Structure 1
Amino acid sequence: MQPLPLSWLDNKPKWIPQWPLTQEKLAAVNDIVSQQLEAGHLQPSTSPWNTPIFVIKKKSGKYRLLHDLRAVNQQMQPMGALQPGLPVPTMIPKHWPLIVLDLKDCFFSIPLHEQDTQRFAFTVPSINHQGPDKRYEWKVLPQGMTNSPAICQLYVDQAVEPVRQQCPKVQILHYMDDLLITAESESHLMEAYKLLLLYLEKVGLQVAPEKIQKGEVVQYLGLKVTSEKVTPLEFEIAIDGLQTLNDFQKLCGNLNWLRPYCKLTTEDMMPLFNILEGDAQLDSPRRLTIEARLVLQKIEKQIKAMQMERCDPQQALEILIFMEQLYPFAVIWQGGPLLFVYPHSHAPRVLYTQGIAVADLILTAIKKATEMAGKTPKRCVVPFAQEAVEAFTRECWQWAYIVLILQIEIDNHYPRHPFVNFCTQVSIKRVQKVRRDPIQGAVTVFTDGAKGGTGAAIFNNQRYFVLTASPSPQHAELAIIATVLRRESAPMNILSDSAYVVNAVQMLATQCLILKSSSVYSYLSEIQGLLNQREHAIYIGHIRAHSNLPGPLTRGNMMADHYSRFLLACTALEQAKEYHSKWHVNTHTLSFKFNIPRKQAEDIIRSCEKCVVTIVPKIPAGANPRGLKPGHIWQMDVTHIPSFGRQSCVHVTVDTYSGVIMATAMNKEGVQQVIQHCLQAFAAWGVPHVIKTDNGPAYTSKRFAAFLKEFGISHITGIPYNPQGQAVVERAHLYLKNLIIKQKGGIGEMATSNKDVLALALYTINFLNKKKNGKTPAEMHTQSADKESIQWVMWKDLQDNQWKGPFPLLRRVRGAVCFFPQGAAQPIWTPERRIRLINLPAEDLEEENSI
């Protein structure tokens, strides 16, 4: 076979410098390199590639050379997995003689393509740079190369495939450098064995003579294979070195490899699986829990006791399903166990019923049996009554597919075998705790959950209420149902207007699995436990909300709805008061955040002793020009807060579109401080197109003008000594000062400096206080504006006292409007009283949309 060229994603040479090695390790490297040179595995190199090497000492005291090929592997096109799983020795026919071969130095017997050798170069350093470093490159498959296993499998298969074709009655199991040959007769086996040795020698592969196994008992892939049985090799699990995530990951991986041959159920493994959760760093610390230690002891006992059968090609295969408390597992059976099949340790959905879990497991076992034995089982034994199987077939497509399409015979009579007694340790109770039809004579319970996380239940003049941390109505309704089940033990007919909750409770009655990462896991697991503990059954059904139908059921549901919303209103009002006492937000924020009427929000603010003294009287609306988008026009000014001491000069900037306020406490009003404030504002909210200021000396200086020019910002000033041109930022001064006064003694207690006080106030203004449209200034500044239908206005020009238009309306704010006349150089701001909104006919709108 010719060497196989590798495919590369990148041809740019990678050079990773070699790190220093101690004198002892360097001597070991030189010895190993000399041996590999004599064997023809290495050659001198002048390659532009280089990756580091290191050596580790083995238990025998000898050193092993390792080559860090991660950088080269990143450039390589992976070949993919040619053998997605291990061959299963239990599928070897009974009483067939066996021969096991182990290839000697398989990787080092396979040459690299000559165009690829330069990429696998390394350097042997010299101490104190006494001379040039010696460089070498591999001529054979190096350990650690991504595609080495795949190339090894292809190379060995070139020798195995001709033997399979010439000896069709022989089975050859091949995995990497481990080969197992078996045949029905000794003569056929020896013929294939001699032929295989010949073909292996032709491709340059050598068999280790000391590792050839013949006889009735052989070891293959960590298993002991006898003429009838397959058992795991005895071993002890070393627990002293289990300290990190990587240690436990390797342990679980090794145990997972043994699970097809041992009864290691998902519930048995769960304490070990739980240790793998958490921090994803490989070296993150982990601790062996008491439960996990007991599990490891149990696993060692089961491995020593377990014996699997070898198959009989003439007999049919069966599937046996066994149940733990929650997780099922399957056994591929043929007069004895051939292979275990387990489900995934995590449920694939929030609620995973036992019926669907068993059906998915049966399909997995059928696929596994077909893959390993080449034939489909025709019978499946399950721990369910025939009536349950029929119900599953009607309700679940997986069961219908198994019974009707695959035509698998479903039975519930297990074979008489000691192994079956070993597996059926858990009795499965089929007590129906949730009925499909209403219970005659039982009391009717109405439940409801509100959007704010409050739930209510009403029956027999009893009222139950719950308040959840989640605002979801489904969470609230699950919580109230759990409360009712916990407090009432009598039979009940529960009516809910949530189809999700009704379906969930009905599924919980069937011993289903619950996804632990789900947000409703705590509620569902509690309901499941309460249902299992109940003596009397319940019925749960769905009732449509707000149907306005006559009768007691509609009235009962409406009453539960009213109670849950009343509780929400009471709770929301208290939460709004507490929130306002902490942050002193405005009425819009309280109304939107806690879903309370605006009138109640205003009452909360009026009843606040800090806010009532700072309520500003309404200012007559003006027509101060504002920005038409975020970062269009900023207004900037300086105000003074005496309580800040030496940093009493507070530079304030406001975005006239979004209302975002930026403020910086400084010790001066000079141009240097203005520039510092601008840079901080730019870093947080971007660079504006226009900045408007008063005519102060810092703002009119040449240095400030040069600074703005560097950023491409236009600078305009108002009329000297007329603060009305800066009305937006002047009002921001008052807004900021009042909020700082309100937050003293509340949330402001966490502030340790003037900057902290200012930061808390700015956070409240920009990220908490909402406007009439329900958005905060920060949301308006960062989110794209919603597209609105174009409105048209007529405008009265006072210069000639004529109505002009129609013009498209761009913005309306605080009694002022902005529109853009055709032919004008810029938009016009004017008081709202000087315009009239008009409705254009449809054909006129189509013509004017281009304006």
Structure 2
Amino acid sequence: KTGHGFFVGATEMQPLPLSWLDNKPKWIPQWPLTQEKLAAVNDIVLQQLEAGHLQPSTSPWNTPVFVIKKKSGKYQLLHDLRAVNQQMQPMGTLQPGLPVPTMIPKHWPLIVLDLKDCFFSIPLHEQDIQRFAFTVPSINHQGPDKRYEWKVLPQGMTNSPAICQLYVDQAVEPVRQQCPKVQILHYMDDLLITAESESHLMEAYKLLLLYLEKVGLQVAPEKIQKGEVVQYLGLKVTSEKVTPLEFEIAIDGLQTLNDFQKLCGNLNWLRPYCKLTTEDMMPLFNILEGDTQLDSPRRLTKEAHLALQKIEKQIKAMQMERCDPQQALEILIFMEQLYPFAVIWQGGPLLFVYPHSHAPRVLYTQGIAVADLLLTAIKKGDRNGGKTPKRCVVPFAQEAVEAFTRECWQWAYIVLILQIEIDNHYPRHPFVNFCTQVSIKRVQKVRRDPIQGAVTIFTDGAKGGTGAAIFNNQRYFVLTASPSPQHAELAIITTVLRRESAPMNILSDSAYVVNAVQMLATQCLILKSSSVYSYLSENQGLLNQREHAIYIGHIRAHSNLPGPLTRGNMMADHYSRFLLASTALEQAKEYHSKWHVNTHTLSFKFNIPRKQAEDIIRSCEKCVVTIVPKIPAGANPRGLKPGHIWQMDVTHIPSFGRQSCVHVTVDTYSGVVMARAMNKEGVQQVIQHCLQAFAAWGVPHVIKTDNGPAYTSTRFAAFLKEFGISHITGIPYNPQGQAVVERTHLYLKNLIIKQKGGIGEMATSNKDALALALYTINFLNKKKNGKTPAEMHAQSADKESIQWVMWKDLQDNQWKGPFPLLRRIRGAVCFFPQGAAQPIWTPERRIRLVNLPAEELEEKNSI
């Protein structure tokens, strides 16, 4: 060893420098430690100093350390390196999978090595050492804290596993090149050597020890395994078999999400070597759903307890084969109720392959699931066995395989491109009986052709969530919570399947629904996170329970073709829309009675004509007395984008008592209203209101007010200057300059009155009533463009195609222009004359829209 604590050979291989995203030192203070734990830290640090793994430090980096007590009673030192890992460039995954011991040839002798303190045998690069510093505090600050830094790979560092693999590979690769007849399985610090002859094995073994010593890696002598039976990666490997190690699943400590996550992870490690199907594991997988906190409580369900008992029996009974390099690989497919699983086969089981527990699409048919599983098994055969399986046994008849090949690209690729033989005759072997198959019933519940003599049913779903079914003299209706027509059509199919048990022909104008029902007739998985899961799963259950088959076909809507089929589809379409219209009208009335929203909101939200929305408001006993008459069109300047021009004023609501002074601000572009009930109108209250409005909706460019003393004070002017806001006032004693905010006063007061007794009952104070009114104005009421004020405020100014106008200047009575039109609202327009300092607002009657020639229009738009 050198003075640095490493073998001489280790200096021949230069330490790998790490790549960093950030060079700024990170200092995370060390948290306090109890006297017992601090004593354990000092003992461990002293041991690591003597071993040459640590050195004293003056680094500007610091991350905390702590200790945990192991089952043996000894303490283990842990270093919290999360802050350092965030600065580090990850090296990526160098070994994406584990070696598969079943692919070791039969009867080849084995030697297993375990490297001693692998991480602590690999030095860090000199320039990286300072980043892995930590502090050992002194009790009661009796002296300076002692600081140390790692000279070797610390546990918990992101790139430690990758660097470890690279170092071990430096020793393994020369042996592979010099001994080509030897196989070496390497995963982290676990090595397995095997060869056809004992002499070749021993030669490679001695050579490997030499190269390991050369790069500074030590082998633990007590962990060298030779003989007929060895243990490797949690498995027992004999001359012919591979079996999991015996263990019992302790269920007493399963109390949190972290406990079950670790259990499922351990079982998942064994699944390639045991028959632990997805359906066997599903009760455990279901426990993992829900709260994502690691310490969130979990309970072992009855189903999961039974599943664990079954899993323990499967693990104890399982024996996998070691491969024969001279024989070809095959794939056997077995079926459970929902999930298939595959076995890579060679006179016996070599490896299990399972699908994912979640369906990758909304409807995942049995044929596609098996094809995807086949492709996965073929890739594993290529990667782990070094050869492509040429034969596959599936539980399907030849006619079904031919149909799959025509309809599914995966099957076509397997059969035609990879040229894999598809068979349905399983080998005679006890293992095949162990993997008892679920019988696949071929009862055709959904026919491909119409059923003779069966009744014909027409179904339709309308946008808005209403569905209708019509046949003979009967009609069925449904109303879904979703506005999707597909949801409504699936719901009406459910109603028909539940109420009609006889054979029937169903015609729908939704190709999506027709294809979905046809796929549900086969065993298929349904994506649980899909919005249509409830509809599809219920329809699947009803189809499986049926005694008589059905036919479902697609018919084009609105084709205007003659005949009874088109008439039947039109009747279903009319009934679904009539139901939608009547239902939407009732829903609109109920919604208005609660929130008292405006005409545009009712029309857009419930898809009803504007005339019906106006009738609802006129028939409301609270709204009819507060309808504001339309005022003549004017030219009150408004903002051209969110936060451009705000108008601010104070109104009084006597029912608010001491807080009757309501400060109101409105964004003249989006219409967003901000209001706050206060006890005074002074400048202090105005500033408080502004700060609250800025926090919610941003800082405007311009605020327009009247000439009140609070608004014209020097304090308010200094406040606006601090925020860079321009302040303008209207003509004294003329409220028309503040028309937008003045109209908002009336709008706000009327809404508070109308909501009393309805949704207003939720309010327990005047501030609550004001908040409900503001919520209705900003987030519920829609404008003519179908957007709420909040939606308009959150987006940029509308980018519409530029229109050009001519303007009549009353000063000289001349028409001028053309000028680009910026905005049009309530009988006023805004345009920007060339050479002007700012846009001009004018009544709409003083402008004329003009159509420019294409060449001139293109030239002006480019300017």
Whether TM-score is above 0.5 comes out as: yes
Cα distance in 2 between the residues matched to 1:135 and 1:286: 41
Deviation of 1:469 after TM superposition, in Å, equals: 0.8
Deviation of 1:432 after TM superposition, in Å, equals: 1.6
Q: Note closer, same or farther for the CA distance 1:645–1:136 as it changes in structure 2 (3 Å cut).
A: closer
Cα distance in 1 between the residues matched to 2:354 and 2:219: 36
Deviation of 1:27 after TM superposition, in Å, equals: 2.8
Q: Note closer, same or farther for the CA distance 1:86–1:737 as it changes in structure 2 (3 Å cut).
A: same
**C-alpha offsets along residues 9-35 of structure 1, whole Å, 9 cap, x if unaligned?**
333333333333333333333333333
| Aligned residue pairs, count | 851
Q: Note closer, same or farther for the CA distance 1:616–1:30 as it changes in structure 2 (3 Å cut).
A: closer
**C-alpha offsets along residues 171-193 of structure 1, whole Å, 9 cap, x if unaligned?**
22222222222222233323333
Q: Helix, strand or coil: the match of 1:612?
A: coil
Tell me if 1:592 matches 2:604.
Answer: yes
Deviation of 1:516 after TM superposition, in Å, equals: 0.7
Is 205-214 or 321-330 further displaced after alignment? 205-214
Q: Helix, strand or coil: the match of 1:845?
A: helix
Q: Note closer, same or farther for the CA distance 1:410–1:705 as it changes in structure 2 (3 Å cut).
A: same
Is 529-538 or 47-56 further displaced after alignment? 47-56
Deviation of 1:658 after TM superposition, in Å, equals: 2.7
Deviation of 1:520 after TM superposition, in Å, equals: 0.8
Deviation of 1:301 after TM superposition, in Å, equals: 0.8
**C-alpha offsets along residues 578-616 of structure 1, whole Å, 9 cap, x if unaligned?**
000001111111111100011111111111111112222
Is 439-448 or 402-411 further displaced after alignment? 439-448
Q: Note closer, same or farther for the CA distance 1:411–1:638 as it changes in structure 2 (3 Å cut).
A: same
Deviation of 1:823 after TM superposition, in Å, equals: 4.8
Q: Helix, strand or coil: the match of 1:33?
A: helix
2:640–2:797 Cα contact (<8 Å) kept: no
Q: Helix, strand or coil: the match of 2:625?
A: helix
Is 710-719 or 447-456 further displaced after alignment? 710-719
2:643–2:701 Cα contact (<8 Å) kept: yes
Cα distance in 2 between the residues matched to 1:196 and 1:460: 85
Cα distance in 2 between the residues matched to 1:182 and 1:237: 32
Cα distance in 1 between the residues matched to 2:56 and 2:736: 84
Is 58-67 or 513-522 further displaced after alignment? 58-67
Deviation of 1:488 after TM superposition, in Å, equals: 1.0
Tell me if 1:151 matches 2:178.
Answer: no
Q: Note closer, same or farther for the CA distance 1:109–1:792 as it changes in structure 2 (3 Å cut).
A: closer
Deviation of 1:125 after TM superposition, in Å, equals: 2.8
Is 789-798 or 360-369 further displaced after alignment? 789-798
Cα distance in 2 between the residues matched to 1:789 and 1:46: 65
2:490–2:535 Cα contact (<8 Å) kept: yes
Q: Helix, strand or coil: the match of 1:234?
A: coil
Q: Note closer, same or farther for the CA distance 1:646–1:134 as it changes in structure 2 (3 Å cut).
A: closer
2:641–2:796 Cα contact (<8 Å) kept: no
2:593–2:620 Cα contact (<8 Å) kept: yes
Is 395-404 or 134-143 further displaced after alignment? 134-143
Q: Note closer, same or farther for the CA distance 1:476–1:198 as it changes in structure 2 (3 Å cut).
A: same
Q: Helix, strand or coil: the match of 1:614?
A: coil
2:642–2:797 Cα contact (<8 Å) kept: no
Deviation of 1:448 after TM superposition, in Å, equals: 0.9
Deviation of 1:525 after TM superposition, in Å, equals: 0.8
**C-alpha offsets along residues 341-400 of structure 1, whole Å, 9 cap, x if unaligned?**
001111111111111110111111011011111111111000000000000111111111
Q: Note closer, same or farther for the CA distance 1:829–1:138 as it changes in structure 2 (3 Å cut).
A: closer
Is 463-472 or 618-627 further displaced after alignment? 618-627
Q: Note closer, same or farther for the CA distance 1:714–1:181 as it changes in structure 2 (3 Å cut).
A: closer
**C-alpha offsets along residues 263-318 of structure 1, whole Å, 9 cap, x if unaligned?**
00111111111122222222222222221111111111110111111111111111
Q: Note closer, same or farther for the CA distance 1:384–1:673 as it changes in structure 2 (3 Å cut).
A: same
Match of 1:95 among 89, 107, 111: 107
Q: Helix, strand or coil: the match of 1:613?
A: coil
Deviation of 1:336 after TM superposition, in Å, equals: 0.9
Deviation of 1:820 after TM superposition, in Å, equals: 4.1
Cα distance in 2 between the residues matched to 1:147 and 1:795: 71
Is 167-176 or 298-307 further displaced after alignment? 167-176
Is 208-217 or 566-575 further displaced after alignment? 208-217
Q: Note closer, same or farther for the CA distance 1:750–1:33 as it changes in structure 2 (3 Å cut).
A: same
Is 76-85 or 554-563 further displaced after alignment? 76-85
Q: Note closer, same or farther for the CA distance 1:650–1:432 as it changes in structure 2 (3 Å cut).
A: same
Q: Note closer, same or farther for the CA distance 1:615–1:75 as it changes in structure 2 (3 Å cut).
A: closer
Deviation of 1:108 after TM superposition, in Å, equals: 2.6
Deviation of 1:847 after TM superposition, in Å, equals: 5.7
Cα distance in 2 between the residues matched to 1:40 and 1:655: 69
Q: Note closer, same or farther for the CA distance 1:73–1:774 as it changes in structure 2 (3 Å cut).
A: closer
Deviation of 1:250 after TM superposition, in Å, equals: 1.2
Cα RMSD of the aligned pairs, angstroms, is 2.2
Percent identity between matched residues is 97
Q: Note closer, same or farther for the CA distance 1:35–1:491 as it changes in structure 2 (3 Å cut).
A: same
Cα distance in 2 between the residues matched to 1:45 and 1:829: 71
Cα distance in 1 between the residues matched to 2:163 and 2:847: 81
Q: Note closer, same or farther for the CA distance 1:297–1:829 as it changes in structure 2 (3 Å cut).
A: same
Deviation of 1:64 after TM superposition, in Å, equals: 2.2
Q: Note closer, same or farther for the CA distance 1:724–1:428 as it changes in structure 2 (3 Å cut).
A: same
2:212–2:218 Cα contact (<8 Å) kept: yes
Is 165-174 or 446-455 further displaced after alignment? 165-174
2:115–2:217 Cα contact (<8 Å) kept: yes
Cα distance in 1 between the residues matched to 2:241 and 2:862: 85
Q: Note closer, same or farther for the CA distance 1:416–1:841 as it changes in structure 2 (3 Å cut).
A: same
Give the structure 2 partner of residue 332 of structure 1.
344
Is 154-163 or 643-652 further displaced after alignment? 154-163
Q: Note closer, same or farther for the CA distance 1:509–1:721 as it changes in structure 2 (3 Å cut).
A: same
Cα distance in 1 between the residues matched to 2:127 and 2:222: 36
Cα distance in 1 between the residues matched to 2:180 and 2:832: 88
Is 145-154 or 430-439 further displaced after alignment? 145-154
Q: TM-score, normalised by structure 1?
A: 0.96
Cα distance in 2 between the residues matched to 1:248 and 1:474: 39
Gaps of 5+ in 1: none
Deviation of 1:61 after TM superposition, in Å, equals: 2.2
Cα distance in 2 between the residues matched to 1:674 and 1:34: 66
Cα distance in 2 between the residues matched to 1:636 and 1:45: 62
Q: Note closer, same or farther for the CA distance 1:31–1:777 as it changes in structure 2 (3 Å cut).
A: closer
Cα distance in 1 between the residues matched to 2:120 and 2:73: 23
Q: Helix, strand or coil: the match of 1:15?
A: coil
Deviation of 1:90 after TM superposition, in Å, equals: 0.9
Q: Note closer, same or farther for the CA distance 1:676–1:207 as it changes in structure 2 (3 Å cut).
A: closer
Deviation of 1:840 after TM superposition, in Å, equals: 4.0
Tell me if 1:357 matches 2:361.
Answer: no
Q: Note closer, same or farther for the CA distance 1:823–1:105 as it changes in structure 2 (3 Å cut).
A: closer
Give the structure 2 partner of residue 836 of structure 1.
848
Is 291-300 or 617-626 further displaced after alignment? 617-626
Deviation of 1:720 after TM superposition, in Å, equals: 2.9
Q: Note closer, same or farther for the CA distance 1:663–1:70 as it changes in structure 2 (3 Å cut).
A: closer
Q: Note closer, same or farther for the CA distance 1:142–1:781 as it changes in structure 2 (3 Å cut).
A: closer
Q: Note closer, same or farther for the CA distance 1:798–1:491 as it changes in structure 2 (3 Å cut).
A: same
Q: Helix, strand or coil: the match of 2:73?
A: coil
Q: Note closer, same or farther for the CA distance 1:169–1:810 as it changes in structure 2 (3 Å cut).
A: closer
Match of 1:656 among 661, 668, 673: 668
**C-alpha offsets along residues 628-649 of structure 1, whole Å, 9 cap, x if unaligned?**
3333333332222111111112
Q: Helix, strand or coil: the match of 1:849?
A: helix
**C-alpha offsets along residues 807-847 of structure 1, whole Å, 9 cap, x if unaligned?**
44433333333444455554444433444444444455446
Q: Helix, strand or coil: the match of 1:504?
A: helix
Note the 1:200-599 alignment, pairs <5 A. 200-599=212-611
Q: TM-score, normalised by structure 2?
A: 0.94
Q: Note closer, same or farther for the CA distance 1:213–1:645 as it changes in structure 2 (3 Å cut).
A: same
Q: Helix, strand or coil: the match of 1:680?
A: helix
Q: Note closer, same or farther for the CA distance 1:632–1:76 as it changes in structure 2 (3 Å cut).
A: closer
Deviation of 1:222 after TM superposition, in Å, equals: 1.1
**C-alpha offsets along residues 529-560 of structure 1, whole Å, 9 cap, x if unaligned?**
11111122222111111111111111111111
Cα distance in 2 between the residues matched to 1:798 and 1:48: 74
Deviation of 1:675 after TM superposition, in Å, equals: 2.5
Give the structure 1 partner of residue 9 of structure 2.
none
2:642–2:670 Cα contact (<8 Å) kept: yes
Q: Helix, strand or coil: the match of 1:335?
A: coil
Cα distance in 2 between the residues matched to 1:797 and 1:49: 72
Q: Note closer, same or farther for the CA distance 1:330–1:688 as it changes in structure 2 (3 Å cut).
A: same
Deviation of 1:503 after TM superposition, in Å, equals: 1.4
Is 169-178 or 710-719 further displaced after alignment? 710-719
Q: Note closer, same or farther for the CA distance 1:738–1:71 as it changes in structure 2 (3 Å cut).
A: closer
Cα distance in 2 between the residues matched to 1:471 and 1:513: 25
Is 494-503 or 112-121 further displaced after alignment? 112-121
